[in-house]
Amino acid sequence: MGMISEFKAFAMRGNVVDLAIGVIIGAAFSKIVTSFIDDVLTPLLLKPALEAANLSKLEELTMFGTVKYGLFLSAVINFLIVAFVLFLVIKGINAARKKEAEAPAAPPAPSNEEKLLMEIRDALKNK
């Protein structure tokens, strides 16, 4: 088997294709979450708090240069916000799936034997 055909077999496996689709959807979903945080949450809730704390301008001058630990703290806060938003989204999805799973399934249609037995029963009742 040639290297090209081996690579083709590898690339067309279900796992690789699923992973590629997951990465693409993840990138698109990342834009949605980033927009939600930057355009909705930050102006409403976080901007006044972050401006009061002024974390992004926190830094310390050392002999090796400036250590901007305020930017690091802002990145940590942003990560926690993103993680919390994703937690809420996944919690909502799981709740929707749970409701879907709890819906009772329709009873199965009677088999041919059961239909025949019901006809015999009905015939005996009528006699």
pLDDT single digits (tens) 71-116: 788 778 778 877 887 788 889 888 888 877 776 777 888 888 988 8
SS3 (DSSP) at 42: helix
CA 108 to chain centroid, in Å, comes to 34
pLDDT > 90: what percent of the chain? 1
pLDDT, the chain, mean:
79
Categorise residue 61: left if φ over 0, alpha if ψ from -120 to 50, beta otherwise: beta
What's the pTM? Answer: 0.46
- Give the three-class secondary structure for 106: coil
The Cα–Cα gap between 93 and 47 comes to 29
Query: Is the predicted pLDDT of residue 56 greater than 70, yes or no?
Result: no
Q: Which residue has the higher pLDDT, 59 or 87?
A: 87
Weakest mean pLDDT among 12-16, 52-56, 108-112: 52-56
Q: How many Cα atoms are found within 13 Å in the side-chain-facing hemisphere of 24? A: 6
